[in-house]
Amino acid sequence: MPHGEPPTYFTFSGLAALGLPHATTTRHFPGVTTPPAGAPFDADARRALAPVGLDLGRVAWARQVHGAGAVRAPTGGGWAGAGDVLTTTERGVPLAIFTADCLAVVLWDSIAHVLTVAHVGWRGTVRGATHAAVRAAVEAGARARELHAAIGPSIGPCCYEVDEPVLREFGGAFGRRARAWFRPASEGHAMLDLWAANEAGLAEAGVDPAHIENPRVCTACHLDLLYSYRKGHRGRLVTIAALP
């Protein structure tokens, strides 16, 4: 739910109930610099998220490349290198994912104390980023069935029109089952449901569907609150979480 007037960030009710410090920012959040241009948060941003229990002075982030590569966060936070999946077992080290239509996925095993976050667009979906995220969490000590997942605000099937090359990529990666994620649009185009595709990917990788939280908030439908790359925005939303 949103916080503040105007809201500067969201939290997920399921993750909040389980005690995970986290937030997804809105376009009204102060002090964000999109990496890799140095530290991504200034003093205003640090103050804004302090009540959530996130110490942005220890934040870890990566150079997102629209793939499925996984990296481990440095022990004290900071630059983790290039990759779209970021994992930690260190308490109090926030992991940050930057988006403006793509999915930000949070995975947390509260028993094994493993946290993984992922940046997943259509290319990452085709390349298996969701499966890579679950695999990275399991390799760090998590159990797939114990993971709790959340999917941040991202472009929905109401607004995400893609063309023939994207359709071919999905067909090559997923075969006939990809048809369930598309709705016909104009000639040679279709509306893509990245939410459904990645919910299916999480379940295939072993995550209990009952543990997948997705508010299905479309970035392109809420331009007063969120950033959308497809609508010409250059800013980024940030999904941040840290092990308690």
**The residue count for the chain:** 244
Q: Looking at this protein, which amino acid is placed at residue 76?
A: G
SS percent in the chain: helix, strand, coil, step 5: 30, 25, 40
Angstrom distances, CA of residue 77 to CA of 51, 70, 142, 244: 19, 16, 20, 15
Return the pLDDT at 38: 64
Question: Which domains are present in the chain?
Answer: 2-154+208-241 (3.60.140.10)
What is the spatial distance between Cα 161 and Cα 35, in angstroms, rounded to a whole number?
Answer: 28
Are residues 205 and 131 in contact, defined by beta-carbon separation less than 8 angstroms? Answer: yes
Return the pLDDT at 1: 42
Over the stretch 83-129, which tens digit does the pLDDT of each residue have? 999 999 999 999 999 999 999 999 999 999 999 999 999 999 999 99
Return the pLDDT at 182: 98
Mean pLDDT (whole number) for 182-187: 94
What is the spatial distance between Cα 193 and Cα 191, in angstroms, rounded to a whole number?
Answer: 7
- Cα angle 233, 126, 61; round to 5: 55
- Mean pLDDT, the chain, whole residue set: 94
Return the pLDDT at 35: 65
Mean pLDDT (whole number) for 130-139: 98
Output the pTM of the full model: 0.95
Return the pLDDT at 4: 45
